[in-house]
Every structure is written in C-alpha cells, then in structure tokens.
Amino acid sequence: MKINHTEIKKWSDERAQCISEARQMLRDAAEKGRELDQEKWDRAWNRGEELREKIDQAFVDAAKDREVHDRLDQMGRERPSPQAAEQRWERTPWGSTRAVEEIPDTEEEREWNRFLRAQDRSGEIQTRAAKWDHIEQRVQQTGDGPAGGFAIPARVLAGIRAAEQDMYRVIGLCQRVTLDDAASLSATTLADDLDDGEWTSEVKMPDADEVEFGRRDFNPEDVAKVVLYTYNQARLQPGLEMWLRDRIAYKFAGTIEKAIIDGPNSTTGRGPTGVFSTTPQGVGTGRDKAFASATAVDAAAIIDAAAGMLREPYLNSPSLAWVAHREFYSHVAQLTANGNFLWKQGVGGMSDSATPDMLCGIPVVRSERAPHDFSSGNYVAVLGDWRQYLIVDTSWMLMQKMIELYAAKKQIGLHAIRQIDGGVITDEGFVRMKMG
C-alpha cells in the first residue's frame, strides 16, 4: 500500500481547520464574555484527534506493507552465508525506527521461519554450533513440546525491540540497556552535586554532604506472553514471520509502557518503577508541580514546569517530552498566555518532515494508560527528559511453540518469555503535574 499524499494533505488540512474552529470558539467566548460551548468545542477537538490518528496510521500501514513486499521479493533470491551482519536500525522522527539497509536472512532466521510455520514436530531444530558475530558459541535452538524452547535469532529480537518503539513512543524515548552475560545492572545516581559554576583556578574542596551518590539496582525479571495464530495462517499467510513479530512486540510493548507509567504489578509488586508512582526509587514528591485549582489546569503552572523546574541539560535533551492522557491535552489546548495558545499543532505522520504537537514548545506524547482523573491531588501529566528513565532487558528471548494445547481450535500458541526491568535514574530530570 502506497501512501496517498493527496489523502494525507486533505486530512491535515481538515485537522488544521478543526483546531482553528476550536480556537475561534475560545476567542469568541472571551471577547463576548460568555461561557464556552464545551460540547461543541469537544466535538471539534476530538475530530482533530481522530484525523491525527488516521494520518499516523496511514504511514504505519504503508511501512508494514512495504516491509511485507520486500520480504516476499527477497524470499526467492539467493542469500549469502549466515555470516551476514546484524541488521542496523536508525531512529526516524519521534520514536519510529527503520532498517537502514536490506540484509538477507541468516541460516538461523530461515530455520526460525520454518519453525513458526511447522504444524507438527517437523519444526524442531536441534542443538548445534553456530557462529554469530564471529564468536564460536553453542546456541541452544530446540523445537516445541518436551524438547524445550527456541532461543530466537538476535536479529529477530532486534526487530521486536524496534517494533515496540514504533508502537509506544514513550518506550522509544527512554534509554535502553541490554545485558549479555550479566544477570543485573547497578546504575549510579547523583542526588546532590557541587555548585561550582564559577570560573576559578583552584578546585573547590567539597564538604562531606555536598556530593551525594546513590545506586539504582536493575534486576530483569521474567515476563511471559502468549500469541496465537491459526493453521491456515501458518500454511498460507505471506509475511507470517513479520505479523507474528509485531504481535509479540505489541504484547510486550503494552506491558512495558504500562510499567513505565504505573509502576510494579499491583498484586505481586514486581516490575519496573513507574514515573507516576511515588515509590522511593521513582520520582520524588519534591518534583511535583500543582495546579492552582483542584479541578482545572492553568497556564501558569504549565509554563512554570516547562521553564522553571528543569535545568538546562534536561531542557536541551532530544528525549524531552510531555507524557499524558489525551484528555489532559484537550484541557491544555484551551490555555493561552499573553494572547498566545500554549498548544501548537504539528505535522503528523512518520516522514522526515513530520513534527509532533507541542506544548510550550516541548513535544507531547499521548498515553492511554496515563492517569486522567482531574480531581484534587491526582497526577495528570509528566514532563521529563526520558533519557533519565532506563529500560534494562537481556539479550535473549525464549520461544516455545504449543501445538496440542490449542489443537481443538486449530490454533498454534507461541509462549514467549523475556526478562525486563526499568526505573528512574535521576528524578530531577522529571516534573510531575498534579491537581491542586
């Protein structure tokens, strides 16, 4: 499917018209001293949001369709030996990733594809020697059932990670570390530092309490997901491998994003630390900024958070962004300061010319999992340098195919297990907005 630029332009123009109409309603209400027709304003704003989603989805669908066609074209061509280099990924504007060069499948990937499509034990792959990255190692790659699991090829896992960043932009903004041989990671945190900005020829000797170091331990824990597909898909569907990759990525990405927002599992207490949670290893309450009202947002608090509560290293970060629910943005889109709206419409999509919507000149990211209860004391948004949030995972994913369990429904199950942790490194890189 090619991108219909005429259709994209029509949607962009219509979205701009919706936002213009919504702003004119605000101006008319202010000039004539009457109450805003909130129902009419919400209708215009929501239509603009629908169009933004259609524009973004059009670019995503076109990219996936292009990838499937490239894959089908490649299937019939002769491929070089499995010594092909790792596929490299680059970031496109705002969290989207793409392969920067076409690299043929390795032998491990071809065996992985056969494993996915086999509907019986014929898909098993036995333990053998493999050579990845020019390092000889034993790679356990066994099939389904009693034989155990399947350690998927590194390039497939890299594609899953890239797809996760496409699906949830907050994941793409965070810093990410992958552990190869270690079981855990300790990151140094700095709670307090020297105030030594003056130009001096002598080094200031710090007092004992002027520099305070801390440590944040990351211990990736098991996260398990199941993806189902049918016998007919295994037999007939073109590009099944990429479809399953995206389904696996969707399952894990939703869990990762929920953990970044909400924090550990409420039942087990296990999982990454969330930016909206007030745990000791999260964002401290000293980084909270309250609105003047218990039920309404105001421009003064937004401006103060954007201009007054973050230091310059964080303000200049390419990962600086607001993260909130769409309802929060519908409220702040009505705010003005000195006659200028705090909200600025961006150019949707994933092309090189795409720009995000802005709030006080800072990009915004929407999260359906962000809290949006606009009542006293509740958190409603986070502004932060998301490089100060670290996602830690391991370099392997175990995949087990379950054939008999879903045979009655003519389905095949993929049981995927990964190890993931995450948390805030430096809480002064974040500002949390809460109702008064």
What amino acid is encoded at 43 in this protein?
Answer: R
Residue 270: what pLDDT? 74
CA 64 vs CA 20, 61, 114, 310: distances in Å = 33, 5, 21, 38
Q: What is the pLDDT of residue 49?
A: 86
Amino acid at 310: L
State the pLDDT at residue 294.
92
Per-10-residue mean pLDDT of the chain, 436 residues long, equals 73 87 85 85 87 79 64 48 41 45 62 74 39 35 44 82 89 90 81 64 64 81 92 85 89 93 74 83 87 92 89 88 92 88 75 75 92 92 94 87 88 90 89 93
* d(C-alpha 152, C-alpha 376), whole Å: 48
Cβ proximity of 227 and 251 under 8 Å = yes
Name the token pair of 408.
């009655």
CA distance 74 to 87: 15
Residue with tokens 């499948």: 105
DSSP 361-413: TEEEEE-TTS----STT-EEEEEEEGGGEEEEEES--EEEEE-GGGGGGTEEE
Between the CA of residue 168 and those of 98, 315, 335, 357, what are the distances in Å?
15, 22, 27, 16
| Helix, strand, coil abundance in the chain, percent, nearest 5 | 40, 25, 35
How many whole angstroms separate alpha carbon 314 and alpha carbon 45? 31
Instruction: Please say whether the dihedral angle defined by the alpha carbons of residues 276, 282, 285 and 290, taken in this order, is positive or negative.
Output: negative
Task: Provide the strand spans (E) within 193-329.
Answer: 212-218, 221-230, 288-290, 320-324
> Cα(427)–Cα(384) distance, rounded to whole angstroms?
9
Structure tokens of 187?
A: 């990151």
Are the CB atoms for 283 and 432 separated by under 8 Å?
Answer: yes
Euclidean distance between CA atoms 261 and 37, whole angstroms: 33
CA distance linking residue 67 with residue 72, whole number of Å: 9
